[in-house]
Structure 1
Amino acid sequence: MTIKPTLASLMLLSGLLLSANGYAQDTVTLRLHHFAAPATPVQTEYLEPWAKRIEEQSEGAIKVEIFPAMQLGGSAPSLYDQAKDGVVDISWTLLSYTPNRFPESEAFDQPFLPTTGEATSMAAHEFATTHMQDAFEGVYPIAVFAHTPGKIHTRDTSVESADDLKGLAMRAPSKTMNRYLGLLGAQAVGMPMPQIPEAISRGVINGLTLPFESAAALGVLDIAQNHTFFEGEQGLYTAMMVLVLNQASYDALSSELKQVIDDNAGLQEAQRIGQAMDQAEERAIEAIEASGEGEMFYIAQDSLQPWQAAAETATAQWIADMDSRGFDGQLLYDEATRLVEKYTEQTK
């Protein structure tokens, strides 16, 4: 007896062959490239769990391979364009690595703006999706975020007052912080994070500004053992960062796989990254305190006046620069401040 397959049975078999996991698309591998060390908490406590979520929720149809420390080549300032141009699928980078390209983001570079990494990251994401949509043409922003406020770390001298910065060569993370440290009398030196360990070990710089969690992952806290904190709700500075996916890579996904990405992008991801950085910051500080190998110095509220005066000057100069470029600098700064206050209150 010959049994002829029905059209329905053939269609069913075709569907099964197309996708045993429910997604009618071959496995997609997304390459994620970033500048930081493999041990950085953003990788170990956010990117790796995020990649696992993506794989699980897509039932294995999407795999994410992570390449830290510029393993795929190029320089840290090239990371954004690597994702935009399709050299890689996803990149994590600081927008301040490309000065003047994302001018609105510099509102978050202003001194004494940030509170926690969580609250400031949520503020950064809302700010960027409101004021910077055109700047992200060609990429799909998975999350816009900001790191836990940075502290001052120095090698051979301690910074216990603003005067102690005078003449020190200090690594700064952004154009704004270069200006700010210069106003305090330091010799501001701009360089990407991967260059910091060699620079501090060789004495090219006397110190740096970074969160503890980043400095610990870089391995520089064994050299820069003097640490300066600022009392109060606002920290010294932060920087806006992005996790972006190449738009063509996103567009090539099936609708089901796009939904997996959509479900793991947005404000809640910025919040998760901020939380991971805050928790890592606490652990890094506790480890230094327990080791007894570093000295902690605290700038009290009643000693902040010279620091804040320089901050006001730096921010006023930035606002004037933005105005000369056709932006409303005051509006952008006020909006950044409002959003940080909003999410700080919301996350208490």
Structure 2
Amino acid sequence: MKANRQSRPSRRLATSLAAATAALALIAPAVQAQDKPVQLKLSSWVPAQHPLNPALQAWADDIKKESGGTITAILFPSEQLGKAFDHYDMARDGIADFSYVNPGYQPGRFPVMAGASLPFLFANGKEGSAAIDAWYRNYAAKEMKDVKYCFAFVHDPGTFHSRKKITVPGDVKGMKVRPATSTVGQLITSLGGTNVQASAPESRDMLERGVADAITFPWGSIGLFGIDKVVKYHMDVPLYVTPFVWVMNKGKYDAMSAAQKKVIDDHCTSEWAQKVAGPWADFEFAGHAKMAALSGHEIYKLTPDQLDAWRKAAAPAEAQWAEGVKKAGEDPKAVMDALKASLAKYKSAL
């Protein structure tokens, strides 16, 4: 009888353990399915040593940490997965899972975003990145519907760098200029210049061969891409910024678990836009002093009258931009007012 009394708890324990094991067996596949490993291909077309790449890697490392190691990433810089011009379509088509895109490389395709590259809007790149992202979130789902929008950002303001000195808008007439964006290209055309299309990595060669006489570029990247070897005049004014976006393949996102999607969403914010853009903004800002220290280069400021002439010269480009926005079904005044309000909010307005 004693043995029987001892065996009953043992049998109950065994039954409970068996039930628990069976329950875990049912749950385990669901957990594994929910948290299956995901590896992301991140594509960046700037050189490996560009300050944007470490910032993107830090972003990816934080995603790995927050996902409990289930989301990992490999960064491919230097156009390894495709040309700079193709990066939006690369994300759309799944050639890359995340792509670094310059919307201005495809004139007319993203008319709303083009407004951010109109002259004399942005005072800086760091706060400006938070400002452009907060603004563009209202338009991205429609304008970039082929991809999952993550965030937008800008570099620190750029300007004209040229073989001959450019001080007034009339100096551009007859010149061949590589514009940073389609909006800057509209300004060049309205001033009687000719646009020469080239991605950043191709630009030095274009200038060296005389295919272009001038380029609009941020300060630090002039040295990074070797453009300081072929131009020597630099207009000292915050003329424009180039807007960029970091976008994701929709299918890759849709295949993730709800928990993994939340990790991605938490890393696609205005705060992360500023964090990723920050090191690059600092690099470009520091480029001004580096250029000033080089011999054989002239950095020149504009007089108030010259600056006023440039602001007036930019008006036709804004009118042309507005027409494109109207065709896309948006109100250009409302779009521009919203951008300026965001710039003021984030202390990045000129």
**Which TM-score band applies after superposition, normalised by the shorter structure?**
0.7 to 0.9
Shift of 1:17: 9.4
Residue type of the partner of 1:268? E
Shift of 1:311: 0.7
Paired residues of 1:173 and 1:209 also in contact (CA < 8 A): yes
Residue 121 of structure 2 is aligned to residue 97 of structure 1: no
Which sits farther off after the overlay, 276-285 or 82-91?
276-285
Q: What is the aligned counterpart of 2:35 among 4, 15, 25?
A: 25
Q: Distance in 2 between matches of 1:249 and 1:317?
A: 37
- % identical aligned pairs: 28
Paired residue total: 338
Alignment-derived partner of residue 157 in structure 2: 149
Residue type of the partner of 1:312? A
Alignment-derived partner of residue 122 in structure 1: 130
Give the 3-state SS of the residue equivalent to 2:228 in structure 1: coil
Alignment-derived partner of residue 53 in structure 1: 62
Change (3 A) 1:237 1:52: same
TM (normalized to structure 2)? 0.86
Give the 3-state SS of the residue equivalent to 1:242 in structure 2: strand
Q: Distance in 2 between matches of 1:251 and 1:321?
A: 32
Give the 3-state SS of the residue equivalent to 1:32 in structure 2: strand
Alignment-derived partner of residue 63 in structure 1: 72
Give the 3-state SS of the residue equivalent to 1:253 in structure 2: coil
Give the 3-state SS of the residue equivalent to 1:130 in structure 2: coil
Shift of 1:177: 1.0
Q: What is the aligned counterpart of 1:72 among 78, 81, 101?
A: 81
Give the 3-state SS of the residue equivalent to 2:80 in structure 1: coil
Shift of 1:249: 0.8
Paired residues of 2:123 and 2:348 also in contact (CA < 8 A): no
Structure 1: state its 5+ residue gaps: none
Q: Distance in 2 between matches of 1:272 and 1:18?
A: 35
Q: Distance in 1 between matches of 2:319 and 2:305?
A: 23
Q: Distance in 2 between matches of 1:167 and 1:64?
A: 47
Shift of 1:71: 0.8
Paired residues of 2:112 and 2:335 also in contact (CA < 8 A): yes
Shift of 1:126: 1.9
Residue 342 of structure 2 is aligned to residue 339 of structure 1: yes
Change (3 A) 1:187 1:328: same
Residue type of the partner of 2:20? A
Q: What is the aligned counterpart of 2:92 among 63, 81, 84?
A: 84
Paired residues of 1:23 and 1:61 also in contact (CA < 8 A): no
Deviations 1:44-92 (A, max 9, x none): 2x2121122122222322211111222113x323211111121211101
Tell me how large the CA RMSD over aligned residues is: 2.8
TM (normalized to structure 1)? 0.86
Give the 3-state SS of the residue equivalent to 1:153 in structure 2: strand
Paired residues of 2:52 and 2:279 also in contact (CA < 8 A): yes
Residue type of the partner of 2:250? Q
Shift of 1:228: 1.3
Shift of 1:143: 0.9
Alignment-derived partner of residue 297 in structure 1: 300
Alignment-derived partner of residue 228 in structure 1: 235
Bigger radius of gyration among the two? 2
Shift of 1:130: 1.1
Change (3 A) 1:323 1:265: closer
Give the 3-state SS of the residue equivalent to 2:108 in structure 1: coil
Structure 2: state its 5+ residue gaps: 1-9
Alignment-derived partner of residue 316 in structure 2: 313
Q: What is the aligned counterpart of 1:36 among 24, 38, 46?
A: 46
Q: Distance in 1 between matches of 2:325 and 2:22?
A: 63
Q: Distance in 2 between matches of 1:261 and 1:324?
A: 33
Q: Distance in 2 between matches of 1:41 and 1:278?
A: 9
Q: Distance in 2 between matches of 1:222 and 1:144?
A: 31
Paired residues of 1:40 and 1:213 also in contact (CA < 8 A): no
Deviations 1:298-326 (A, max 9, x none): 12334212211111122123224433554
Give the 3-state SS of the residue equivalent to 1:142 in structure 2: strand
Paired residues of 2:196 and 2:211 also in contact (CA < 8 A): no
Q: What is the aligned counterpart of 1:106 among 114, 138, 141?
A: 114
Shift of 1:210: 1.0
Give the 3-state SS of the residue equivalent to 1:144 in structure 2: strand
Residue 180 of structure 2 is aligned to residue 168 of structure 1: no
Paired residues of 1:41 and 1:213 also in contact (CA < 8 A): no
Q: Distance in 1 between matches of 2:68 and 2:101?
A: 28
